[in-house]
Amino acid sequence: MDELQYQMDLLKAMNQKLSLKDRMYQMIFDATDSAYLYYSFDKKEVTTMGKWKEFFDFDIKEVKEMEQLFEVVEEQYALPLREALFIEKKGEVDSRIECQLKNKKSWFQFCCKVEYQNQQPFEKMITIRNVTKEKFQNEELLYMAYYDNLTGLYNRNNFVKLLGEYVRKAGENNGIVSVLIIDIDDFRKINDGLGIVAGDEVVQQFGGFLKELCNNNIIACHLSSDIFCMAIYEPTGSCSVESVYKSIQKRLREPFFLLDGRAINITVSVGVAEYPEAATTALELINCAEIVMYKGKEKGKNAIQYFDTPILNEFLNSVELENKLKQAVFDNNFILHFQPQFDTDNKRLRGMEALIRWRDDDGHMIRPDVFIPIAEKNGAIIPIGNWVVEQSIKNFVKWRKQYGIPFVMSINISSVQCGRDDFVDFVMDTIRKYNVNPDEIELEITESILIEDFASVIDKLRQLRDFGVRISLDDFGTGFSSLSYLKKLPINTLKIDKSFIDTVLTDSPTRIITESIIDMVSALGFESVAEGVENEQQYNYLNEIGCDVIQGYLLGKPMTAEQIEDMLQNMS
Ligand code: G
Ligand code: G
Ligand code: MN
């Protein structure tokens, strides 16, 4: 009896101990985020622990019930999961697999580990982790790596890769790939006028529309802000460039409706380049299409422009020029020539115009009409223009002292220079620095200066005028040439463009206009300068009608500083 009691107490104590261990395990398992399935090959018993009840709405007590696991996962994972969870059949030790559940929401990672004893499987532990969050984070990263967030179209990198595939395929099959760059016209107006959010909505909706045009042979991407790119493999039949462009045009006849109900109409400009005609790599094709698109835009928006070689060459030349130009600013490869101007009635020196010249590395003289517009675009005009101002004033001071002959130094000023806030100060400081009389310096501006911000330009010119600097309106007759705005301008001098002088003797409307300009100029108290006077007849005529100053090949071509010094030497 005692013996039995003892046995029973012992058993009870052991049970308590066991349940304590059980409870301890339970606590540990509860504290983890995983579910566990333990299998003893010996006892043929399955035990589930940890978060099992949270993960699955079934329990597993014996091996055959594990079938339920293969049923909750997506079909494609059922077989691989079965293999992973019965690795002992292949004599392996561990395995790992990630499976999506049929509900599409959750992802589980199954790790299976088998212990062997005497080369026989002894026990197995399957750890199951919910990896949904990581999976979606990864997917998001993956998505971001390949797609554009705003439009859902491919992003640039992925598009370039896929276009590269198209090009490779076309190379092998003598195929064609068309690349279209699509740029929303006046997008800045939408952004500035309606807000960035509205701009984004338009990009998003238009991108969504382009996506609908895609298929096996057409891909599209969002390149940057308002620029899209499409590629068409073998653009024949129904997926030709024309038909894509027509679909776009058709869609754009209808407005896009913003979330707040506003309707927005847009137009686009399209540039097209084709493999292998325009270029042979994905990036070059995109580049070509972009160049063509911008060139097309110059002619007019809302249109399609196809690649042709002269367009590319023109562009490449200007890019080359742009790079050389930047270097030239560093290397100081510019020189000034000077063209004299003479009083018409007595042919006395009135002034000289500083004309910049650029000798490039190859020794070519590059004309300012070629490089000034490029310098204006890339900002190089500022250091170049400042150099011209300082250099011509320096020369003026030197010659004025050396030869004692009075004259005016005329300096051409770009509208970009004049647009700078520090322009007025820079000119005044330079004049003070060289201690010259401001009314011996003349700035030649063109009408284009007035297009941007009339009021602020007028204000700057007025400050300079008040300081004593002369202002001359250059190339008069080539711009919008409204005589009515002339009286609002604080100018001293008006230069009649060479194109008038060229035909003034042969074309009577030109003569009438020229004569009335000169009358008006003298009535307003300005000085008139005729540009490009090449012969005696022109000179006599201009003298007759009262033109004040003559500039042109007849009386003096643009000269180097040394030639000017010779001329001044002969005059004194
Ligand atoms: O010299 P000529 O061919 O080279 O000049 C051509 C054009 O370049 C002219 O319209 C002239 O006004 C302009 N130009 C010449 N020199 C300068 C300069 O120093 N600055 C600017 N902005 N234009 C210049
Ligand atoms: O500032 P701007 O626009 O207009 O410069 C004067 C330009 O006109 C310079 O390029 C100069 O070389 C050029 N030029 C000056 N006089 C004559 C001329 O008599 N005939 C021709 N063909 N060009 C001239
Ligand atoms: Mn000029």
Alpha-carbon separation of residue 33 from 11, 139, 344 (angstroms): 34, 22, 98
What separation in Å is there between the alpha carbon of 564 and the centre of ligand 3?
18
Most ligand 1 atoms within 8 A of CB, residue of 341, 365, 369, 418 to mutate: 369
What separation in Å is there between the alpha carbon of 339 and the centre of ligand 2?
9
Q: Whose CA is nearest to atom 16 of ligand 2?
A: 552
Q: Whose CA is nearest to atom 18 of ligand 2?
A: 532
What separation in Å is there between the alpha carbon of 566 and the centre of ligand 1?
23
Q: Is the CB of 340 under 6 A from ligand 2?
A: no
Give the pLDDT score at 14: 55
What separation in Å is there between the alpha carbon of 323 and the centre of ligand 2?
27
What separation in Å is there between the alpha carbon of 474 and the centre of ligand 3?
5
d(C-alpha 54, C-alpha 68), whole Å: 15
Give the pLDDT score at 157: 81
pTM flag (> 0.75): no
Separate counts of helices (H) and strands (E) for the chain: 22, 21
Going by their DSSP bridges, the two strands 256-257 and 263-264 should be labelled as antiparallel
Q: Whose CA is nearest to atom 24 of ligand 1?
A: 412
Task: List CB contacts of 521: < 8 A, sequence separation 6 or more.
Answer: 494, 527, 528
Q: Whose CA is nearest to atom 14 of ligand 2?
A: 532
d(C-alpha 397, C-alpha 430), whole Å: 12
Give the pLDDT score at 210: 96
Q: Which residues of the chain have pLDDT under 50?
A: 1
For 478-494, what is the HEC assignment?
CCCCCHHHHCCCCCCEE
Q: Whose CA is nearest to atom 1 of ligand 1?
A: 355
Write the DSSP string, 14-37.
HHHHHHHHHHHHHHHHHHSSEEEE
DSSP character at residue 62: S
Q: Whose CA is nearest to atom 20 of ligand 2?
A: 532
Ligand sitting nearest the alpha carbon of 374: 1
Burial 232-258 (b: 16+ CB within 10 A, else e): bbbbeeebebeebbeebeebbeeebeb
CA nearest 295: which of 316, 277, 275, 280? 316
What separation in Å is there between the alpha carbon of 552 and the centre of ligand 3?
12
Q: Cis ω on the peptide bond leading into residue 276 (within 30° of 0)? A: yes
Rounded to 5 degrees, φ, ψ at 113 are -130, 130
d(C-alpha 471, C-alpha 327), whole Å: 31
* The two three-digit tokens of residue 365, written as one number: 């003289």
Give the pLDDT score at 230: 97
Strand spans (E) along 441-555: 441-445, 470-476, 493-496, 527-530, 549-551
Give the pLDDT score at 520: 84
Q: Is the CB of 355 under 6 A from ligand 2?
A: yes
What separation in Å is there between the alpha carbon of 357 and the centre of ligand 2?
13
Give the pLDDT score at 480: 56
| CA 183-188-190 angle, 5° bins | 100
